[in-house]
Structure 1
Amino acid sequence: MKVQLQEEYEMAKGAIVVGAGPVGLMLAGELRLGGVDVVVYDKLPAPSGESRGVGFTRRAAEVFDQRGLLDRFGDVEWAQGHFGGVRIDFGKLADNHFSVRGIPQFRTEEILEDWLKQLGVQVKRQHEVTGYRQTPDGVVVEYQGPDGYGEEHAAYLVGCDGARSLIRRLAGIDFIGWNATRGMYMADLVGAGVRQRPIGEKTPDGMVMAFNLENGVDRIVIHDENLRPPEDKSSLKFTEIADAWQRMTGESVHDAEVRWISSFTDTTRQAEHYRSGRIFLVGDATHIHMPAGAQGMSVGVQDAVNLGWKLAATLAGWAPDGLLDTFESERHPVGEKLMRNTRAQTKLYLTGDEMEPLRSVMRELVELPDVARQLAGMVSGLDVRYDMGEQAGEHPLLGLRLDPSRGLRLPDGDHCRVADMLHAARGVVLVTPAAADATRIRSTAAEWTDRVDLVTADWAADGDTPAPDGPQALLLRPDGHVAWAAPDGVDRLRSALERWFGTAVGGVPVV
């Protein structure tokens, strides 16, 4: 049955997001926080319950924290890291690079979907997008739903529909990269009783990994140079995985209860562009690679947080010229670095004894703090620095994320953290009592108070102990990255506000 359409599309959405994985759900929440009328389409009748991902990087954890979501995961296990199997002692680094382990992807999806329900965002299950056409003022999305064919109009369409993205293909965007050269198998087992190998172990024929997923469920992962993942995953048999595991470890898992099996390869590709007119791509639709350090979903979540406030600003009418273009200019290079580091880790981790001299050199190099920090930052996501422009100044924090766990003491004596200031996904101007030109800074920020929060607070460590190492004043974008910081002057603050938050609407002077 064909659904009758309204000629004028009076109830047009601000944005339609395709794909109800973690990335699509996160983007929808970001858009709703920005005041956008958004809906999520997903072709499955219900969440799959499968979990290729089982955790997320430090920066992804910080992003969830910035929106008040991290506590919803409960007590999490903070995991030690590595680069291609070469251990990095995170405890020796000044910044906290520890990732989160043991959170199945379906749990992340449950938490994000509950968040969307609280925000009033609808997730339309069993709605498979089949096509779209761009119009002068938006996009008409075609879909097959429970009642048959339908269409819905929106100002923008975002494809968060994974590695085989239909939206990317329909947009004619090339997916450039390298074909598979090797593969890995994995299985989630109950009662396996395997020895834990959380970052993997080399074997004569490849690599094996084992770790507890949740409630007695173990995940085993195998890279066996004698096996190739089948082109059709449905033909994969657990006996193949169990036989390989026993051959490589001497442990039998044949009698374990099997929850799920899958396979994947080192195929590495990146979308040539992340945008085509009113169409955007986010997450696996833009980049795929061999899993290494829980980076895939984590980078996708950061893609979503980068795009969300910019798209919301555009729909609200206050976005400065070129703001939407910075999504690709900022995130495409991050994707390029992701491709490079995962390919490097694959070579380091999964090749044979011929790579052992390089592994030995890497073990020595990671004992150097600068090397350890560089490699850890690649995997954790804490090394991302955006170009804030020459007009923003020269502060060393410019473009970097501000640690959301940093403590603040408010004028009334209460305490909060940087993350607490970002829950609403708005810009923040933070001014400390010691800031030079504090009155001018506050007066300038007051002109943007419809989209930027003005906060007066002092840096604090434990309790009321001052922490004087923080900037006396700064501007944060909604994604938590520093766009301006004192002692660069108020004129530079105004330039930064105009660049990221558009034309001032005026405000009440602060005296």
Structure 2
Amino acid sequence: MTTTDGTEHGTRYDVVVAGAGPVGLFLAGELRLGGASRVLVVERLTEVDETIKAGWINNPSVVALNRRGLLPELTAAREAVRERLRAFRDGEDGVDAAERPRFAGHFAGIMLDPERFDGSGPEWADVDPAAGPGLVLPQAELERVLGRWAERLGVEVRRGVELTGFTEDGAGVAVHLDGQTVHTDRLVGCDGGRSTVRRLAGFEFPGTAPEITGYQALAELRGAERLKAGWNTTDVGTYAHGPFPGRVVTVEFDSPPADRYAPVTAEELEASLRRVSGVPELSVTGVRTATRFTDNARQATEYRRGRVLLAGDAAHVHSPFGGQGLNLGLGDALNLGWKLAAVVRGRAPESLLDTYTAERHPVGAWVLDWTRAQIALMRPDRHARALRRVVEDLAGSSAGTTYLVNRVSGVWQRYDLPGGHPLTGASAPDLPLSDGTRLGEHLRTGRPLLLDLTGFPALRALAAPYADRLTVLTATCPARPALGALLVRPDGFVAWAADADGEAKEDGLTAALERWVGTAGATA
């Protein structure tokens, strides 16, 4: 059916999101929380992809999901995963638990000892106690949790539908879906490393070409007792076994695969495992799920072209080492969702979207180099192995372990925002408040928050014109008596802060409200 405005199915959407993976679903939910009334997610797959992919979410991701009230569901999903980990720990699959290394993450397969980690640094001073360094959780489980959340928020998700093209003009974007057309104000590509949206929109995607072939799989193994648990380097490459039965990873440095996306056969996986591990008796008797990967590392030069935007793997691709890809994409969605919602609803100027690339592109560039550094240390040549021994010595120290855990966990991430207060640009501390709540609980609605800790009337007067979109909370925080006030963006980052003893607590607040909350009196 075509309506009088030329839109099939009778609806013109605020935003169409291509891709119903975790990034697309999280973005869709954030758009709805931000006020976008009509959000459509389209996905070519008919069901959640069970292929083994990312296995953990880092501190910023856990904090963001907890602020949206999703931690109980995530914790329940994690418990099922823990049972599998316990089985592996207790010696199933022929693994001797006494020989298994303690695990706090890894860098290029160099295991990090949690007992050498020093969490007393300033990076951890205000970390949400429910988050810690991160949460072990398969990507498919996260996708299910986010799918249910998006559904509760009223997001429309169409599965088994492929985006085949789009045309953009000054009035919006016409999106072509398997012979049908829907109209939208904006289109966001969350459709993965081979993004159709990125390709058709003409985004530049420079980077470094792949050199490796890697496999990650859940397989049925015979002879697995000969494999060492954890990450291991050999004269051929690198392999990993665990942390639960049947999970294996191999990395070979001869060349990239001829066809990365062809089905992975048991024979192919077995041959790679035998070559890298040096265990000729090993057999792969079945493959439950498997994927290839490479070290192809590329990043779009910009994340927005006109009415088309990118997030997640559509904006950046890299090797999976360090578990950064999923978390990077969730950070993109968290940063973009409220900004795009404010623009499409007329509450903020178009220039707000410029801050998306400005804030997220440097984080993506860091992740690409972080993964490249790990590939360099995993190469089997003598120069790389010599360098690896140096890094192993450093990682074996408390300072080295702490540095690497801090970087992997993501607690270092902040944005370069205007203002001189130390908290400005950082993720908001989860302050315990005098009413028995914590700061994070007041971010569930996705609205910006002005937290007044000293009862200063001028702050509430400045916030009054934004009453339709800004939560103002007056409380005290005995744990931080020197802190006077915070303006927290919907993504949980501090846009403005003042100390309790400041002579003019409102200095800079007007500019911060206009920049991040929107134009006073604009359409709600």
Q: Shorter-chain-normalised TM-score: which range?
A: 0.7 to 0.9
Partner residue of 2:238 out of 201, 207, 210 = 207
1:156, 1:278 within 8 Å by CA — same for their partners in 2? yes
2:241, 2:247 within 8 Å by CA — same for their partners in 1? yes
Say if 2:492 is the partner of 1:480. Answer: yes
2:234 & 2:353 partners in 1: Cα distance? 48
Residue aligning to 1:409: 433
2:173, 2:185 within 8 Å by CA — same for their partners in 1? yes
1:209, 1:221 within 8 Å by CA — same for their partners in 2? yes
Residue by residue over 1:207-241, the C-alpha shift from the partner in whole angstroms, topping out at 9 and shown as x without a partner, is 1112235xxx5310011345753425426422232
Say if 2:461 is the partner of 1:438. Answer: no
Residue aligning to 1:72: 73
Residue by residue over 1:94-147, the C-alpha shift from the partner in whole angstroms, topping out at 9 and shown as x without a partner, is 32662322x222111111111111111111112111111112221111110xxx
Shift of 1:12: 0.7
Equivalent residue runs for 1:246-325 within 5 Å:
246-247=274-275, 248=277, 250=279, 252-254=281-283, 256-320=285-349, 322-325=351-354
2:2 & 2:512 partners in 1: Cα distance? 47
2:231 & 2:406 partners in 1: Cα distance? 21
Partner residue of 2:145 out of 111, 119, 140 = 111
Shift of 1:187: 1.7
2:189, 2:309 within 8 Å by CA — same for their partners in 1? yes
Shift of 1:277: 0.4
1:197 & 1:416 partners in 2: Cα distance? 47
Residue by residue over 1:154-184, the C-alpha shift from the partner in whole angstroms, topping out at 9 and shown as x without a partner, is 1000010111111111111111111111121
SS at match of 2:336: helix
1:221 & 1:173 partners in 2: Cα distance? 32
1:402, 1:482 within 8 Å by CA — same for their partners in 2? yes
Residue aligning to 1:496: 512
For 1:452, give the aligned amino acid: L
Residue aligning to 1:62: 63
Shift of 1:449: 2.3
Q: 1:197 to 1:471 in 2, by over 3 A?
A: farther
Residue by residue over 1:43-91, the C-alpha shift from the partner in whole angstroms, topping out at 9 and shown as x without a partner, is 1222232232222222111111121112212254696123323444564
2:486, 2:496 within 8 Å by CA — same for their partners in 1? yes
Say if 2:446 is the partner of 1:425. Answer: yes
1:54, 1:105 within 8 Å by CA — same for their partners in 2? yes
1:359 & 1:237 partners in 2: Cα distance? 32
1:177 & 1:284 partners in 2: Cα distance? 14
SS at match of 2:233: strand
Shift of 1:480: 0.8
Shift of 1:485: 1.1
2:511 & 2:189 partners in 1: Cα distance? 33
Residue aligning to 1:98: 133
2:189 & 2:343 partners in 1: Cα distance? 18
2:403 & 2:248 partners in 1: Cα distance? 29
2:242 & 2:313 partners in 1: Cα distance? 25
Residue by residue over 1:327-353, the C-alpha shift from the partner in whole angstroms, topping out at 9 and shown as x without a partner, is 011111111111111101111234444
Equivalent residue runs for 1:120-159 within 5 Å:
120-144=154-178, 149-159=179-189
2:426 & 2:41 partners in 1: Cα distance? 31
1:141, 1:151 within 8 Å by CA — same for their partners in 2? yes
Question: Mind listing any 5+ residue stretches in structure 1 that lack a counterpart?
Answer: 460-465, 507-511
Residue aligning to 1:509: none
Residue aligning to 2:252: 224
Question: Mind listing any 5+ residue stretches in structure 2 that lack a counterpart?
Answer: 86-102
1:50 & 1:317 partners in 2: Cα distance? 40
Residue aligning to 2:97: none
Residue by residue over 1:397-439, the C-alpha shift from the partner in whole angstroms, topping out at 9 and shown as x without a partner, is 2111124xx342343xxx223321111111111122xx3x622
1:12 & 1:370 partners in 2: Cα distance? 55
2:111, 2:231 within 8 Å by CA — same for their partners in 1? no
TM-score if structure 1 supplies the norm length? 0.86
SS at match of 1:39: strand
For 2:17, give the aligned amino acid: V
1:255 & 1:132 partners in 2: Cα distance? 44
Residue aligning to 2:377: 348
Moved more, 493-502 or 270-279: 493-502
Shift of 1:363: 3.8
1:138, 1:155 within 8 Å by CA — same for their partners in 2? yes
Residue aligning to 1:41: 42
Q: 1:86 to 1:140 in 2, by over 3 A?
A: same
SS at match of 2:338: helix
Moved more, 64-73 or 41-50: 41-50
2:403 & 2:297 partners in 1: Cα distance? 22
2:343, 2:350 within 8 Å by CA — same for their partners in 1? no
Moved more, 285-294 or 233-242: 233-242
Residue aligning to 1:471: 483
Residue by residue over 1:335-375, the C-alpha shift from the partner in whole angstroms, topping out at 9 and shown as x without a partner, is 11111111011112344442233233334445677765554
2:52, 2:217 within 8 Å by CA — same for their partners in 1? no
Moved more, 324-333 or 342-351: 342-351
SS at match of 1:204: coil
For 1:71, give the aligned amino acid: P
Residue aligning to 1:463: none
2:396 & 2:243 partners in 1: Cα distance? 28
Residue aligning to 1:462: none
2:218, 2:248 within 8 Å by CA — same for their partners in 1? yes
For 1:426, give the aligned amino acid: R
1:23, 1:304 within 8 Å by CA — same for their partners in 2? yes
CA RMSD of superposed structures (Å)? 2.6
Q: 1:365 to 1:443 in 2, by over 3 A?
A: farther
Q: 1:255 to 1:360 in 2, by over 3 A?
A: closer
